[in-house]
Structure 1
């Protein structure tokens, strides 16, 4: 296997990213991606570029001799992130409302409990 593929596999493993996600983001067929990542099929320059872009990195990142992947535990534990592609205005509005709900979930649940307690009286 090439250094590029070894580094991509290390990145996927440490960041806990599934091949299915990379396939979807890169547009590379799942079976072809699997063959590339196992070293059964050589990756073209285009394939390498598409895989790197799908992972939010430049191709050179995976070719670097001093390759290192940030450890997941280095990220703040109370934060959750995922990439859902380019969002529409409506999707962004819904996401912001969900964030507000998550930030205020204690108050929402507390209000529900108070309401239930009042209804029992």
Structure 2
């Protein structure tokens, strides 16, 4: 592994975690979005991650939750059908918040790796100057 591979790998991880956090923010914002039962439910997105050719990770695409969602009773909704039902997303807030904690921890770990690598390289440069 070259001198700057650690920084490159950590940087790719930061990018993936940022994309994951962005997707989760959108999912959380829409967790209570309801639609008519004749329409597809909001589909939460989850990034699909793969290792990149040069080391590190990259986004390979996005998986989406089921468009079927859940049919829930909400007779007061203006979108309710004749039976008082609406279509809600498949995912719930608890699931999205759990994913959010994992994405935040991964992002924080990548930041720490980047800081540690920078400190190591800075120390090596100081040794070379002496």
Length-normalised TM-score, structure 2: 0.29
More helix by share: 1
Greater RCO, CA 8 A, separation 6+ = 2
Length-normalised TM-score, structure 1: 0.30
